[in-house]
Amino acid sequence: MLSDSSARYSYLLWFLVVLIVLVFTILHWSGLRGGFIGGFWSKWSLRRRTWRKKHAEAAKKKGQAHRQPPSLPSNAQLLCLTALFITAVTLAVAGPDYITPGVKVWQFYGQTPTGGSTSTSYGPPQYTIWKAWWTAGGRFGQIAFALLPLCVLFVLKAPPFAIFAIPFLVQMHSDKLAYLHQWSGRLIWLFSAFHVILWVIQLVTDRRDATGRMALVYAWQEPKFIWGWIVSSDVLIFSLYHPDLPISPLLL
């Protein structure tokens, strides 16, 4: 398992979410969301572009059969989704995965293994591990859990539980956040899939010296791994039969 110090990547995600909410709140209180800049932003953010619009218009002029070009989400939705994806991926891969237990909050490195060796022990490692299959898998799972409350907040409709819809905050209701709810659920599924894949690689690579059998065989004797396999199978089957629905309620 990752150390408690490694959970700071999840905290960073929520620090950024709170910071963005505070910025929009200050803009709302100060009246800066109005005026020329606010009007320009509103016009740009609400604009919805179409896919292959020029191709459809050219086909129409030539008298060829054409379909109505599908409309993309608004610029604001695409911008928020891109920012969320880049932030989540960065927090999942940048820096060391396993941070030395007990280090200071803003100390990201901690102690490295002496002599470059990582001796086997039955306790948690007391040094920083930059990258390994299991640490990378654990970190992807950690960020997936950190995204889960945000995915739920996107779909809540009534204040005070719908934080984004509170009048003196950002004033974003569920109808505007439904798109982010769906795609944040898909992002959670993607990170959970990486979590499972990376852990499977680690368990296949590791082997018990006494028997020579891979660790994946013995993982089925651990309750946590069994629960993980069941959840992963359920989510995979649900996503295959219902690709148009968000999977966050199933994860809950």
* Predicted pLDDT of residue 77: 83
3-state secondary structure the chain: CCCHHHHHHHHHHHHHHHHHHHHHHHHHHHCCCCHHHHHHHHHHHHCEEECCHHHHHHHHHCCCCCCCCCEEEEHHHHHHHHHHHHHHHHHHHCCCCECCCCCCCCCCCCCCCHHHCCCCCCCCCCCCECCCHHHHHHHHHHHHHHHHHHHHHHHCCCCCCCHHHCCCCCCCCHHHHHHHHHHHHHHHHHHHHHHHHHHHHHHHHCECCCCCCEHHHHHCCCHHHHHHHHHHHHHHHHHHHCCCCCCHHHHC
* pLDDT tier, 155 (very low <50, low <70, confident <90, very high otherwise): confident
Query: pLDDT tens digits, residue range 48-81?
Result: 777 655 555 555 566 655 566 667 778 888 888 8
* Predicted pLDDT of residue 244: 53
Q: Where are the domains of the chain?
A: 4-251
* Predicted pLDDT of residue 12: 92
* pLDDT tier, 243 (very low <50, low <70, confident <90, very high otherwise): low
Assess whether pLDDT exceeds 90 at residue 87.
Answer: yes
Q: Stretch 96-109: mean pLDDT, rounded?
A: 78
Q: Which is more confidently placed, 225 or 244?
A: 225
